[in-house]
Structure 1
Amino acid sequence: MVGRMDDGTAPGLRERKKQETRDALSWAVIRLSVERGWDNVSVEDVAAAANVSVRTFRNYFSGKAEAVVSRHTERMFRFADELRGRPAGEPLDQAVKNATLARMAPPEATGDQTPSREWTDGVRLMLAEPDVQGEFLRAMAAAQAELATVVAERTGTDVGRDLYPSLVAAATGAAVSTAMEHWLRADPPVPFGPLVREALDRLWAGLPVP
């Protein structure tokens, strides 16, 4: 799991360095693609921007699309970790909202800050690339499975037997994705935080805990 060792302990220096490299490469793909356009950015450009070799890039990612999606995938797994660590007595809807706001807002959409029109236009075009969309679908399936497991732990349900944990995981993912899509196309631009809060409030108004 991202940010943790297999035994659940905090990562050591070597693991932190590796994570920093992953983050730098992923961010370089996003930044350069927004600035230049997806087809005008090569793996060589990305490696140079992150001050590593092309071989190092290949050690971490199969291509640009995987590098882009890795940021969202890692946020999803950190979100699951955050939800797992919320107080046991906290109602599930509040725990999900608090965990989402703590972990799911990307740096480029942090809190209540309003992005530039140029930035959101560039991100939207990048996310429309078929390779990126395919990676997102694969990543979301794995992340939602982890989130469903955490929801099952908190509600005393069973992922294999009960519909509820998987439904909450899928609905939460859809709410965040919908808020992100609205954030990217809003004109004039709007901050992300209030959008995701509204999406989750509306979701939970019609999805009571069983």
Structure 2
Amino acid sequence: MGKLEKDAASVFQRQKERAIKLNWCGDARKLDDEYWAAEAGRHRCELKAPEHTWANCIKEWRSDAKIQKRLSPGTKRSYNREFEKILDKNADKSMSATTRQAMRKKHIAMSETPRAADWMLQSVSILWNFAKDQLDWPFGDNPAARMEKYGAQKEFRAWPGWMLDALDDAPEVVRIAGGLIRGTGQRPSAAIAMLRKSEIAYR
């Protein structure tokens, strides 16, 4: 095989390796988007999935024998409950993309549920320190560290028995609100706000 044939074969092989299937489903506009994304190197088939994701970190944390042995069952349940909230929307996202500004904004946005807001900060901080110190992931400063929390909240007095009994015969909206307050531990105003949002969503 001559030099020209070898060069042509090499080019063909490189093109073959870079072949990207455009899933346009007969939609000309989608075909156009798919083509130019591939041309610019931004096609989903070319994008490398992030390695240091929240999901990978939580998986490692849950499988760390020292941590699991050190924590009580109740503490592990509390942490895992918060970690599931992180996984719900951020499982495949890179942890390193998390900024301190974003954490502060999220914390403020959760001001109606201060206890949950503080739990969120603590959960992020725990996972970040674990990833950086125990997994040796190349992270910078902890974005949730030393951020001022809302602190301990004033506990509400337990509902008297007569009030609990009255819930059974109360209007449906009152029964639902009562269940939210008792079941989530939120302040009454936060539970009512949640109820109103759900009503709007179903209209």
Same fold at TM > 0.5: no
Higher-Rg structure is 2
Task: Report which structure shows greater RCO (CA 8 Å, sep ≥6).
Answer: 1
State the TM-score, normalized to the length of structure 2.
0.22
| Structure with greater proportional helix content | 1
